[in-house]
A = this chain, B = another copy of it.
Amino acid sequence: MHSVIISETDHSDLLDKPIGIVRQAIRNNHYQGHTAGLCKSVLQCNIVILPQTEASDFQTFCQQNKQACPLVGVSEPGNPGLTALGDDIDIRSDLPLYTIFRHGEPVAQFADIRDMWRDDFVTFALGCSFTFETALMLAGVPLRHIERNTTVPMYRTNIQTRPVGRFGGSFVVSMRPVRIEDLASVFRICEQYPHAHGMPLHTGDPGKIGIPDISLPDWGDATRIFEGEVPVFWACGVTSQVAIEKARPDLCITHAPGAMLITDIDDLMNKHEERAVPPVFEKHVHGGEM
Contacts and interface: CB of A to CB of B under 8 A. Distances in A.
Nearest to A183: B203
Interface stretch (A18-26, A117-125, A145-153, A278-286): A278-286
Interface stretch (A73-81, A134-142, A205-213, A249-257): A205-213
B180 A205 contact: yes
A171 B283 CA distance: 12
B202 A159 contact: no
Contacts of A65: 279-280
A179 B210 CA distance: 18
A67 B171 contact: no
Size category of the binding interface on chain A? 35 or more
A280 B171 contact: yes
A191 interface: yes
Nearest to A179: B204
Contacts of A68: 280
B204 A199 contact: no
A50 interface: no
Given A183-B230, A205-B180, A290-B210, A235 B200 contact: no
Interface string A224-247: 000010101101000000000000
Contact of A280 (B159, B181, B278): B159
A156 interface: no
Contacts of A280: 65, 67-68, 159, 171, 201, 235
Contacts of A159: 280, 283-284, 290
A202 B182 CA distance: 8
Contacts of A232: 184
Contacts of A230: 180, 183, 230
A180 B199 contact: no
A179 B204 CA distance: 9
A144 interface: no
A158 interface: yes
Contact of A184 (B182, B188, B199, B283): B199
A34 interface: no
Interface of A: 64-68, 158-162, 171, 179-184, 187-188, 191, 199-205, 208-210, 228, 230, 232-233, 235, 278-281, 283-284, 287, 290
6 contacts: A68-B280, A161-B279, A180-B230, A181-B202, A184-B199, A235-B280
